[in-house]
Amino acid sequence: MEIVVVYGGVGPERDVSLVSGKAVLEGLRERWPIQGLQLDAPELPRELNPKAHLVFPALHGPFGEDGQFQKLLEVAGFTYVGSNALSSYICMQKPLAKALAAARGVPVLPDVAFEKPYFTPTTSSLIAQLGDDLVFKPANGGSSTGVTMAQGQAVIDSTLNTLSEDFWLVEPRVRGHELTVGLLNGEALACVEIRPKGDFYDYKHKYTAGATQYLCPAPIPRELTEALFQAAQAAYRACGCRDFARADFLYDGKNYFFLELNTIPGLTPLSLLPMTAKHRGLDFEVLIEAMIAPALTRWETAREASLCQ
């Protein structure tokens, strides 16, 4: 059995995925027969063999984190690392993930979701439901691509008129603490506070060195940390995640709100999930080993089942 790390992809987060994939390769190279495979088209690479390869998708965004690639793997009989196709799809659809988490008692922000051009809410209806200080974000994207802040009737109206044809989610803007919890096999590892040196944690601040300060563990009350751990684990279970994930939250000083789950978060030694693992004494190589361990068990189970047939 050889582990194949698939990275790159066809979405706007391709560059991030290339970095993640190469980091995973380095993290596993000393212990496992492994190769990297760069994905350049929305299809299952012909080089992959379900009888010889355990797949590690290090793909972010569309056709990678949204369940499409996972579905192809499942249909072809592959064992792979990370959440399954359905869970991946659910977590990429932010309104759906929020609804499932809320059903488990996890606090979420009110929102309005719509698909342009089929339906676009009016400015007055948004203000009536959510207030006049809003965040517009793609409802099925990641890495903060396409996120827009809009305050006041005129700016909201202009934003609605200039949005691209896509699936959008609108939420009230929370001015406070940005927090994230790393999860390994459903267990919360640690909480990180994210402090961008700018207006908000956009793509530039995520991937520009020195643009954001990260505090791990987050300097918040212990009771809040425990509440975030419980909420992250509840959301993970509600959305059917497996192996690992990262849950993002906002905290306004009084209340916290679940935003989303990332089923394939950034996987470099400086990324947030590895940061939370390091706080628990797991260096990057040990973390990657732990991330693939459940998939190795699934591989052995599938192999034993095939031998019994």
The one catalytic residue in 17, 20, 88, 262 is 262
CA quadruple 189, 193, 199, 204: dihedral sign: negative
Q: Would residue 31 show up in a list of annotated catalytic residues for this protein?
A: no
Q: Would residue 248 show up in a list of annotated catalytic residues for this protein?
A: yes
The one catalytic residue in 87, 140, 266, 271 is 266
Q: For the chain, how big is the Rg over CA atoms in Å? A: 20
Please confirm whether the linkage preceding 33 is cis (ω < 30° from 0). no
Q: CA angle, 273 as apex, 269 and 278 as ends, to 5°?
A: 65
CB atoms within 10 A of CB 153: 13
Q: Which residues contact 122 (CB under 8 A, 6 or more apart)?
A: 160
Q: Would residue 143 show up in a list of annotated catalytic residues for this protein?
A: yes
How far does CA 103 lie from the centroid of its chain? 20
Q: Would residue 65 show up in a list of annotated catalytic residues for this protein?
A: no
The one catalytic residue in 36, 66, 82, 246 is 246
Residues 136, 147 contacting (CB under 8 angstroms): yes
The one catalytic residue in 8, 9, 11, 13 is 13
Q: Would residue 262 show up in a list of annotated catalytic residues for this protein?
A: yes
Beta bridge partners of 167: 115
Q: Would residue 260 show up in a list of annotated catalytic residues for this protein?
A: yes
The one catalytic residue in 83, 84, 143, 271 is 143
Backbone angles phi and psi of 308, in degrees to 5: -80, -10
Q: Would residue 300 show up in a list of annotated catalytic residues for this protein?
A: no
The one catalytic residue in 248, 251, 256, 271 is 248
Strands 112-115 and 167-172: antiparallel
Residues 59, 9 contacting (CB under 8 angstroms): yes
The one catalytic residue in 207, 240, 280, 298 is 207
The one catalytic residue in 66, 178, 202, 260 is 260
Q: Would residue 144 show up in a list of annotated catalytic residues for this protein?
A: no
Residues 5, 264 contacting (CB under 8 angstroms): no
Q: Would you please indicate which residues are annotated as catalytic (active-site) residues? A: 13, 143, 207, 246, 248, 260, 262, 266
